[in-house]
């Protein structure tokens, strides 16, 4: 079964269980300052898991585009990708374990056609210190489900991963692991959760590739969570029912939630029974194209990793650019640049002489034409951006090679010098090491890694400071800035024209940041007019209200929405002003906002600058 068929069957299956199909959110989180990218299906739904009412109801299903930047260096093996799709279904205070586990089992076994004898599950062992019970309910349900297929499901107590590696499978089918493996919260295991954080036990599903032999370097014995590749996690049902209190104890949330996430690509791997994710249709087509262009074979071990890196990185960059992220040296754009530069490095390893990376884009997007038509429609722009970035980097490479030749005269390259090649010339460490090997000179890799870690720690600290708080904590100032952002959007459209569209925003309790499409720098007069527009709206003490309505009705009313965002049939629309005062702003938005503009204070533009070609950025404060 190919990936498109699995995605469609999944959505149709849960629609038959009275779930509303919701569209994938953008890879750029809307008004979530806690993270740069959408990295899971549940991320856009956090407010609703905490109790907010979702306009589409209490049963939801989707396939969510996701990107995880932390996996970039892992790409090259047989199962990691930076971009992936997460099949998700949610119960927002509706059904719970006795419905969820049988449904996911039915879908995987009866609809996808997986072999139940190759399916293994894990559950939460409990946490006596935090008074969190062992998940015996899930075990009882799983035993019954396997029994229905004629399989005796023995439950085995594992504990930690280290303990599991000592114990081995023990003919088990259901495995109890500790909170590091079978408890889900955004912060990890129960002891690491801050006050107010929601979480709960989970039950993971693993599929066995019995042709993969256990590698002892991953532990004495194999077990479901072993990294040797014999067992692959394909899905996880989170039973979010707890919240951590200020005194460190746990209490039940007002509603019991189900949050399921299943990797589309990984389920496809199980369906075709291959332990190599690059064997599935969505990636195999790219690999085949690369084989044709390079004249080399994917099965040649000398080139396998290069094929994987190029295929993964171009796919990720394509979807990120499609969602409005252009290559640059800062924030999100840095990751697109890093993906493309690493792809160029391995493209050259494959020895492809004719044409550049962008010739992969159309064959790639053909596979997604039906699922993501909005990305396919931007093919020309995506190709242009990738071409431009490749030309820039190849020019930089030439400069970097000159610098390398100078350093190579000393017959050794220090870690600091290798890092300077990376930071100043964009030289991936792999290029430096390969060139050094050809010239029989040494590179202090350990010192380079130390320098890189310093750089990453500084970047991470900056990101944590920059992206703290915001709408994720719904503080009073965050709400004010959120409402001010709507007024700023309306002001820009009033002063510059209706071509203005939101390209991204970031809100913290200290300031707002708003990206929008506009070619030229704003004049001082234009900035003053925008400030006056917003401050006049504040002085008028306009009411702020919201209403749920069909998407078509909202569009007829002239409600605007964010760039690259897809919406369901029912949407939430926030309006500033009413029939009495006149509506100043009307936008698709999940909220929340203040109830009246009069509480905002004085609005001031602190900075206006270019972000990328055709995109400007305003940073503003409320005084």
Q: Roughly what angle, to the nearest 10 degrees, separates helices 281-294 and 304-322?
A: 120
Structure confidence at residue 465 (pLDDT): 40
Are 504 and 429 within one domain? no
Residue with the two structure tokens 């929405």: 561
Q: What are phi and psi of 322, to 5 degrees?
A: -60, -30
Residue with the two structure tokens 């390259």: 413
Are 453 and 498 within one domain? no
Are 300 and 272 within one domain? no
C-alpha 538/C-alpha 37 separation (Å) is: 32
Q: 284 lies in a domain?
A: no
Any residues with CB less than 8 A from the CB of 550 and at least 6 apart, and which?
A: 569, 570, 571
Structure confidence at residue 181 (pLDDT): 96
Are 127 and 210 within one domain? yes
DSSP H helices, 439-550, are 445-466, 476-496, 524-539
Q: 559 lies in a domain?
A: yes
Q: Domain ends where: 412, 431, 466?
A: 466
Collapsed DSSP state (helix, strand, coil) of residue 151: coil
Structure confidence at residue 441 (pLDDT): 93
Q: 287 lies in a domain?
A: no
Q: 366 lies in a domain?
A: yes
Domain count of the fold of the chain? 3
CATH code for the domain in which residue 506 is found: 3.30.980.10
Q: 402 lies in a domain?
A: yes
Are 270 and 300 within one domain? no
Are 435 and 450 within one domain? yes
Token output for 478: 């965050």
Q: 286 lies in a domain?
A: no
Are 451 and 505 within one domain? no
Q: What does pLDDT average to in each consecutive run of 10 residues of the chain (623 residues)?
A: 96 97 86 72 76 89 90 82 95 96 98 98 97 97 98 97 96 97 91 90 97 95 96 96 94 92 96 96 95 96 95 96 86 88 90 92 94 93 94 85 89 91 78 86 92 70 40 71 94 92 84 90 95 95 89 86 70 87 88 90 93 86 93
DSSP H helices, 168-280, are 179-182, 264-272
Q: State which residues form the domain around 520.
A: 470-622
Structure confidence at residue 474 (pLDDT): 59
C-alpha 204/C-alpha 183 separation (Å) is: 10
Are 362 and 484 within one domain? no
Q: 578 lies in a domain?
A: yes
Q: With contact defined as beta carbons under 8 Å apart, do 313 and 343 qualify?
A: yes
Q: Domain ends where: 423, 445, 466?
A: 466
Q: 282 lies in a domain?
A: no
Are 453 and 525 within one domain? no
Beta strand pairing status for 59-67 and 83-92?
antiparallel
Structure confidence at residue 34 (pLDDT): 63
Are 105 and 235 within one domain? yes
Are 452 and 493 within one domain? no
Q: Domain ends where: 466, 489, 512?
A: 466
Full-model pTM: 0.76
Containing 547, the helix (H) or strand (E) segment is strand 544-550
CA 46 to chain centre: 14
Structure confidence at residue 355 (pLDDT): 87
CATH code for the domain in which residue 259 is found: 3.30.930.10
Are 99 and 227 within one domain? yes
């Amino acid at each position: 079964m190919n990936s498109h068929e699995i995605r469609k069957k999944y959505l149709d299956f849960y629609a038959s269980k009275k779930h509303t199909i919701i569209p994938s959110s953008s890879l750029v989180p809307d008004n979530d300052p806690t993270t740069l990218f959408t990295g899971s299906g549940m991320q856009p739904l956090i407010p609703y898991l905490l109790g907010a009412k979702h306009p589409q109801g209490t049963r939801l299903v989707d396939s969510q585009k996701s990107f995880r930047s932390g996996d970039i260096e892992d790409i090259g093996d047989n199962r990691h990708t930076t971009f992936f799709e997460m099949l998700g279904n949610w119960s927002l205070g509706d059904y719970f374990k006795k419905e969820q586990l049988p449904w996911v089992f039915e879908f995987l076994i009866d609809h996808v056609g997986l072999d139940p004898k190759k399916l293994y599950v894990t559950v939460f062992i409990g946490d006596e210190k935090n008074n969190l019970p062992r998940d015996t309910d899930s075990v009882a349900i799983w035993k019954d489900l396997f029994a229905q297929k004629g399989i005796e499901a023995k439950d085995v107590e594992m504990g930690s991963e280290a303990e599991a590696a000592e114990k081995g499978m023990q003919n088990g089918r259901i495995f109890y692991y500790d909170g590091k493996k079978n408890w889900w919260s955004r912060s990890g295991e129960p002891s690491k959760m801050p006050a107010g954080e929601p979480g709960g036990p989970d039950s993971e599903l693993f599929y066995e590739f019995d042709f993969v032999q256990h590698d002892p370097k991953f532990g004495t014995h194999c077990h479901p969570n072993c990294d040797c590749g014999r067992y692959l996690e394909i899905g996880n049902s989170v039973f979010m029912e707890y919240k951590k209190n200020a005194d460190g104890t746990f209490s039940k949330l007002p509603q019991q939630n189900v949050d399921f996430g299943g990797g589309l690509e990984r389920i496809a791997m199980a369906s075709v029974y291959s332990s190599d994710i690059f064997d599935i249709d969505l990636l195999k087509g790219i690999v085949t194209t690369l084989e044709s262009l390079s004249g080399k074979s994917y099965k040649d071990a000398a080139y396998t990793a290069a094929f994987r890196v190029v295929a993964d990185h171009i796919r990720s960059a394509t979807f990120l650019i499609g969602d409005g992220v252009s290559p640059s040296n800062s924030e999100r754009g840095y990751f697109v640049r890093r993906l493309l530069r690493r792809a160029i490095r391995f493209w050259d390893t494959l020895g492809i002489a004719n044409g550049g990376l962008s010739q992969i884009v159309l064959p790639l997007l053909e596979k997604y034409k039906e699922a993501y038509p909005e990305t396919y429609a931007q093919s020309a722009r995506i190709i242009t951006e990738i071409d431009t970035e490749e030309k820039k980097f190849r020019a930089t490479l030439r400069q970097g090679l000159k610098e390398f030749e100078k350093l190579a005269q000393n017959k050794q390259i220090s870690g600091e010098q290798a890092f300077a090649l990376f930071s100043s010339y964009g030289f991936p460490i792999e290029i430096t090491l390969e060139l050094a090997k050809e010239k029989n000179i040494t590179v202090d890799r350990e010192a380079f890694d130390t320098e890189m870690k310093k750089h990453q720690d500084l970047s991470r600290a900056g990101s944590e400071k920059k992206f703290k708080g915001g709408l994720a904590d719904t503080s009073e100032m965050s709400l004010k800035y959120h409402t001010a952002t709507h007024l700023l959007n309306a002001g820009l459209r009033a002063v510059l024209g209706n071509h203005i569209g939101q390209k991204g925003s970031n809100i913290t309790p200290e300031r707002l940041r708003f990206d929008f499409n506009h070619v030229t720098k704003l004049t001082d007069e234009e900035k003053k007019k925008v400030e006056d527009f917003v401050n006049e709206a504040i002085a008028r003490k306009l009411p702020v209200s919201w209403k749920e309505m069909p998407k078509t009705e909202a569009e007829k009313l002239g409600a605007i929405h964010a760039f690259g965002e897809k919406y369901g049939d029912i949407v939430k629309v926030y309006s500033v002003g009413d029939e009495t005062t006149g509506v100043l702003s009307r936008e698709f938005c999940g909220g929340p906002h203040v109830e009246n503009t009069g509480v905002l204070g004085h609005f001031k533009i602190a900075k206006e600058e270019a972000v990328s070609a055709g995109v400007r950025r305003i940073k503003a404060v409320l005084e």
